[in-house]
Amino acid sequence: MISHFLERIKQLQEHILEVGLAQTVLALPAPRMLALPRLSEDSGPVSIYIRAVTEVEIESVSRDLYASGHYSLAVQEAFKAVEKYVQQKSNALGVSGTPLMQQVFSTANPLLFWSERKTTSEQDEQKGYLQLYAGAMLGIRNPVTHEFKWIDDPLLSLELILFAQHLLRKAKMARTFNENEGLDRSTTAAT
């Protein structure tokens, strides 16, 4: 039964190549069974992951990678999930990475914001999170995307995944001007 399943997957892969849907081909070793650690309360950092990573956008892309020891890839996928969410919520689909975050969380004309940015604290929040989002793309997402095994420590990886989760939650709380029909963009911008 498993050999039939693998044969069907191989046929699907060949079909995708034939019709031109695949832009590149990645040669992988023959399929083999991989014993993943059980995700239970007694698995060290994995148990912390289970309790702490609760946002479905982060958990769905990083859980299996983290549990199988692919820490750098787990972090990469978590930050890509943040980027994708910010792109979609802000409708800024033509830009990515650091430029995306600088545009979306701009202090002058943000696409996503948390307040009217009239007080110093409100302005500081916008500016600070702009720097956190942009810095996360530049200092975390880029290295894990462009370097192999940039992160190989389970605790460091977990900390970064939790940071990605925080950024995702903060983006979920952000408002857009479409959600605030009564706000005039020019009067809410920082002075």
Residues 51-62 pLDDT 10s: 999 999 999 999
pLDDT at 4 over 50: yes
45 vs 31: CA distance, rounded Å? 27
Buried b (16+ CB within 10 A) or exposed e, 113-152: bbeebeeeebbebbeebbebbbebbeebbbebbeeeebbe
Mean pLDDT rounded to a whole number for the chain: 84
- Asked if 29 contacts 37 with a C-beta cutoff of 8 angstroms, the reply is no
Confidence of residue 11 (pLDDT cuts 50, 70, 90): confident
In this predicted model, what pLDDT tens digit does every residue of 132-190 receive, in sequence order?
Answer: 999 999 999 999 999 888 999 999 999 999 999 999 999 999 999 876 544 444 444 44
- Asked if 122 contacts 115 with a C-beta cutoff of 8 angstroms, the reply is yes
**Left, alpha or beta for 97 (phi > 0: left; psi -120 to 50: alpha)?**
left
pLDDT at 110 over 80: yes
- pLDDT at position 172: 98
- pLDDT at position 178: 74
- pLDDT at position 29: 58
17 vs 13: CA distance, rounded Å? 6
pLDDT at 13 over 90: no
Q: Cα 30 to chain center, whole Å?
A: 29
- Asked if 167 contacts 57 with a C-beta cutoff of 8 angstroms, the reply is no
